[in-house]
Structure formats: C-alpha cells, structure tokens
Structure 1
C-alpha cells in the first residue's frame, strides 16, 4: 500500500509528528547520528571474496536509474526487490536486513521518481511517470540483472505498492522469475472492495474523531474516484489511527532513514521530495483489478503478510492467495507486525525465505 499522505509524504508527516525524536539530534546530538551511521556502514561491509557490493546508475527506460547489488556469495539465489512508496527506496533498510545478504544476492532498484534515481535526475529528469512505464523499466532491470550476474531467472520480492507491479511481472513473465514473494501485499479490486476503508471508519467512530470521520466519509469507499490529495489523506488517517503502524513508522522507517549511512541530511530532504513527486503513481494503481488480471501463475507464489496490517489487511491477501493457481504456493503471517512487516521483523521474514522459498528456487525441495 502506498505510504504517502496529504500534500507531502507520510514520512514527512511522521518526521513532523515525531519532532521529539528528531529535533534533539538536530539541536545537539548530530554526533550520535554520526556514530550510528558509522556503525551501520561497518555492518553493511561485505568482505567475502565470493561476494559483491556494487552500485551505480544504469540506463533504464531512457533515464539513469540507481541499481545496487549486494551479497556475500554469487552462488546464492538472486533477489530483485520492487520497493513501495511510491518513491520509497529500500536502501535505508539495508543495515536492518544485512543478514539477508548472507543467503541471497539482493538487487535493490530505485524506481523512477524516488530514491537515488530522483536525486540524480531531479523532477525534470524522471521522464514518463506512469505504471506502464515503470512496468517496462522493471523488465529492463530484470534483463540487466540476468546479464550482469549470469543467471537465467531472478527471485522477485515485492513490498507494499510494489506488489502491484510485482504481481503483473510474475503473472506475465514466469520465464524471467524463479518465484514471486509478496509482502505488505496489495490486493486491488478496481475499487469494488475496501476493507481497509471500512476498518478505518470503525476506528474513527470508536475514537470519537468526528472531523476525521466526516472527511473519510466524504471521500467515499471507491479509491478509483479519489484525487491524489484524497488518496494521500486516507493513508495518513490509516497510519495515524493505528498504534502499531504509527510506531513502526517512527521506530523502523524514520530511524532507518535518519541513521542511513547512504543518506546525508540533504539526501534525507531529497528522499522526501522524491516520495512527494512519485505519489502521482499511487492513484494510478487504484484502478487495477487483480482478479480481472488473473489468478493463474506459472511460477512458485508466496505471500508473507503482517498479521496486524491495517494498510494492506491479511484477509484480502489470503483470499487472493487461496484463489491463485501456481505450481507451488505458500502463505504465512508475520507475527507482531503490521505494514512494513519484513522490515519490522527482518528475522522472521528471513526465516520464511530460507525455509519456504529458497528450497523451492534452488531445487533443494525436489531433492528431498
């Protein structure tokens, strides 16, 4: 699910709402930030002679886009991450997910409009900002990775709104991907179904938030009819009315960005500007109907969802999973997690990847 809000990004909203967390470092504890960034940089170091740690810009879709490749052994399965947001690069989470790189070679691609790609080209250098263009970009990135690393297929791992793109890639191109893994899995139904909206109204009523309830009710449940501003306001309300999601934003998302060794203070501002710029992709996704696009997948299919996710609830994800036809499929809940489940609980997610996914894509399961 997208995590942008209002006329700015959700991260920017949380940065403001969490002033106590961030103003102290700005006021006098920048040294602590420097120490944490240094420690994270050390944690990120890859020294294995069989490993890889490279990053830079690749010409994709007519513009330069940032691609990072990291892992401790090139013999491990290759993962292509498709991040959410829109515009929310997964690079800030590398220190939290460092253990993943012991078992997988991970390709992190900053989609046009966000992250390092946005920082490099600026708003005028992002080209066509449509879902169809990003879909074609993803195929180009996939071909680049296959050629660069000499692998016939890559393991597709998508999170949040990136799962809209991920499902389409997996459905249409099983020859390119060894499996699909969705987390924070969106299940869009062309505006027909709206459990997150209904649950939000229930929370607002229970909390006696009449002004917010009136605003949400005025939007109506059909997200395909929302403006970008309404879509963003909906996400703001969802996050700020759910204690677990709001806590995750502060303790996982904001802290990961604040202590990222890959982002300077100016880089933080640019990151947020990119999310604001890229939010135009979000409403485009609301018209997607996964049921109409099809539930037949000719590759292994996995969904690992936060058990308490209110942005992309596990119920619809489970219903889609049950309807999917695939050669192998598996579903699991990540305990104690809402949205951003794989980043809040990276050890649980890694365990699922190692016990359920890796044996399938490496052939170990068939050999048992």
Structure 2
C-alpha cells in the first residue's frame, strides 16, 4: 500500500488545494447518504478501542451483524476507511471490519511515532489478536475471517499461525512470501518496463536503487518507480485522491495524515519485511489458508505466493489467480474479489 501513497499523495494535496471547502462538504454528505445503513440488524460504527495499551481505530459496517465477520489487514500505506464505498457490496454478506494499525491512519494520528523504533510484526499481530477478540465479543461471534493484503499479509499470517482458534480462515492477497527473490525480480521487471516506455527518469532511479535495499528510503524509491510504470496501479492512483478527500469522516488533518503519514516506515518493520521468507512466515497452520492473488500483480509476484502456498500444510488450502487484476485487486475489482469470497470462503464460516 505504500506505493498507492507514493502515487496519490501529490494528487490528494493538489485536489485538496483546488477544491473549495463548501464543495468538499457537499461531496462528503453525498457519500454519507450513499453509505447509510438502515436495516434493523445493521451496524455502522467507527471508534477507538484500547488495544496494546493505546487507542486504535476500527470501523465496523454491515447490513446484518449476524453475518460472518471479515477483518481486513491493509498494507503499510493509506488506511482502508476512505475506500469503504468500493467494499459496500461486501456489507450485504459480511460484517466488514477495518482496522488502523499502529502505523496507519487515525491510530497513528492519535498516538504519533512514539515507540516506532521498536515496532515489530509480532507486536502488530498481538494487537490484531486483541482486535479479533474485542470484535468477537462485541458482535457475539466465535470466529472471524481474516484478509491480509501486502504487508498486512505478514500480520495476518502471524495471527493465523498463533491463534487459529479465532479464525474461520485466513485469506492472503498481494501475499508476501519471499522478499529477497520478489525484490530482485520485480526490480528487473520495473526496469524493463521503464526502458520499453523510454522513461529515462525511471530507468535512472531504478538503476541507482537496486536490491538489496540499505534502508526504507531506497526501497520506497524503487516502489515509486515500479508503480509509476504499472498501468493498473497508475489508474488506481488517479482515483484514490478523491476517495480520501471526500471521505465523510475525515477532517483535512486526517486527509493529510492519510496521504503522507504512510511514507514513514519504521526501521524494524522494514527490516522484517525485507527478510521475509516462507520459513519466517511459517508453513504449518491449523486453519484454512487461501490466497486470492491478482495474476497481473507486478509488486508481490503471484508465482512466489503460489510456491509459498504449495509448501503450506493446512486443513484446507487453495490458490486462486484473479484474471486481469493487479496488486490492489481487492479495491480495483471488488465485485470479482467478492465472488471468490462468497464461493470459496464464506461457506467455511457458515458450515
């Protein structure tokens, strides 16, 4: 998700500067009306809850709170909340929970960077387990379905390994698997695209920032140009600014934090991301393990995710390639993604 920010932060800033505040409020009211949930058993809540010793933000939405709970763990980058509209159809079948982790959105806005040098994916997974337990109590259900996207998939896999008793299933998308191989291959693919397009700036930047990356800044530079040469991601980055700017629940300060805050990647989270392998993620799980992966994902390669799943031992497992979709298939093709969830995942929660 960092790459989304890299391409869209400037667009958000430009749009915010150009749009009159009265027009922004009008658009916010329209979005709010379109998203209103008025069913008797529906739920539409946003709140801070005490997790890991700090206040952390969650959003809970669905037309029937008895539906299976679907907790989405986004990658480092824009928080998921402004993209609720893209997932609105999911709320007919699931109670969708979005969580701003320590490094994301409102949670980071409230608590700042304090202690960020010591943050680890293990700590984020501990937080996630607390979130799952809180949501289960709040909605009076035993288990949840967990979706992990991009760096969120590291958190999700860790939760699935530690607490399978809390989950109906784990679903990875943009699944991180073997980062050393992934970064070598995706860097070369990005360089090839830049050369083919005659993009000299991209070629120069990518040649200067080749793996292994010495720090988060060099990796973020690679991501910037990798995603700038990906047509699917460029199209997504053009639509993202409006979603953030016109999200009804966001102040302009929230917009700013959402656009630029994610460019900060704490050092230990960066190091753990770069060292990620099937062995560090784990290969033995006691919950169903599925990966729904865009077959045109140029940033977390589907071939590596498929190889990882082949090594996984789980009660049930399945790898599904989503045709003609990329790294953000969950948001760019939500109907296609939902079809797979209803066919392959929801039955695991209702059996």
Instruction: With the length of structure 1 as denominator, give the TM-score of the two structures.
Output: 0.86
Partner of residue 307 from structure 1, selected from 271, 286, 295: 295
Q: Distance in 1 between matches of 2:56 and 2:115?
A: 10
Partner of residue 228 from structure 1, selected from 189, 212, 216: 216
The aligned runs of 1:284-363 (5 Å cut-off) are 284-363=272-351
The aligned runs of 1:117-136 (5 Å cut-off) are 117-124=107-114, 128-136=118-126
Pair 4,130 (structure 1): closer, same or farther in 2 beyond 3 Å? farther
Q: Distance in 1 between matches of 2:152 and 2:64?
A: 26
2:40 matched residue in structure 1: 49
Q: Distance in 2 between matches of 1:14 and 1:320?
A: 36
Partner of residue 26 from structure 2, selected from 4, 13, 35: 35
Q: Distance in 2 between matches of 1:291 and 1:32?
A: 51
Flag structure 2 segments of 5+ consecutive residues without an equivalent. Answer: none
1:366 matched residue in structure 2: none
Residue 77 (1) aligns with residue 68 (2) = yes
- Point out 4+ residue stretches in structure 1 off by more than 6 angstroms: none
Contact 1:114 1:278 in 2 (8 A): no
2:144 matched residue in structure 1: 154
Partner of residue 238 from structure 1, selected from 198, 212, 226: 226
Q: Distance in 1 between matches of 2:85 and 2:177?
A: 29
Residue 275 (1) aligns with residue 262 (2) = yes
Residue 264 (1) aligns with residue 251 (2) = yes
Q: Distance in 1 between matches of 2:297 and 2:49?
A: 34
Pair 164,351 (structure 1): closer, same or farther in 2 beyond 3 Å? same
Q: Distance in 2 between matches of 1:89 and 1:152?
A: 26
Flag structure 1 segments of 5+ consecutive residues without an equivalent. Answer: 364-368
2:59 matched residue in structure 1: 68
The aligned runs of 1:90-239 (5 Å cut-off) are 90-124=80-114, 128-190=118-180, 194-222=184-212, 225-239=213-227
Contact 1:191 1:287 in 2 (8 A): no
Q: Distance in 2 between matches of 1:306 and 1:70?
A: 26
Deviation per CA, 1:299-328, whole angstroms, max 9, x where unpaired?
111111122111112222222223322222
| Structure 1 position 117, deviation (Å) | 0.8
Q: Distance in 2 between matches of 1:60 and 1:10?
A: 31
RMSD (Å) for aligned C-alpha atoms: 2.4
Contact 2:51 2:131 in 1 (8 A): yes
Contact 1:123 1:277 in 2 (8 A): no
| Structure 1 position 361, deviation (Å) | 2.1
Aligned residues: 350
| Structure 1 position 247, deviation (Å) | 0.9
Pair 61,10 (structure 1): closer, same or farther in 2 beyond 3 Å? farther
Q: Secondary structure at the match of 1:107?
A: strand
Instruction: With the length of structure 2 as denominator, give the TM-score of the two structures.
Output: 0.90
Q: Distance in 1 between matches of 2:242 and 2:319?
A: 29
| Structure 1 position 10, deviation (Å) | 4.2
Q: Secondary structure at the match of 1:88?
A: coil
